[in-house]
Amino acid sequence: MMEIDGLAVTSPARTWLDLASVLDLDDLVVAGDFLVCGYNRSHRFIQQIRRLARGRCRRNCRILEGCRNA
């Protein structure tokens, strides 16, 4: 969690992982591309994804593997 203008919100990486359970792969890639380009922190974003994904469900891990191998 992080705070923006006094509101508690999830981080971009956490939001992307949450979207992985409801979006198809193409839409998930579009969302990830937006988050990486929008924040211009691709290395940090990817590190956060890896850290957060360690405890996530298998579906999200399969999606991450598919993105990495694409």
The full set of domain ranges for the chain reads: 2-69
| Distance of alpha carbon 23 from alpha carbon 44, whole angstroms | 23
Q: What is the 3-state secondary structure (H, E, C) of the chain?
A: CEEECCEEECCHHHHHHHHCCCCCHHHHHHHHHHHHHHHCCHHHHHHHHHHHHCCCCHHHHHHHHHHHHC
For 27-50, the pLDDT digits (tens) are 988 998 888 887 656 677 778 877
pLDDT band at 3 (very low <50, low <70, confident <90, very high): confident
User: Which of 41, 35, 34, 33 has its CA nearest to residue 14?
Assistant: 35
β partners of residue 4: 7
Task: Output the pLDDT for position 61.
Answer: 58
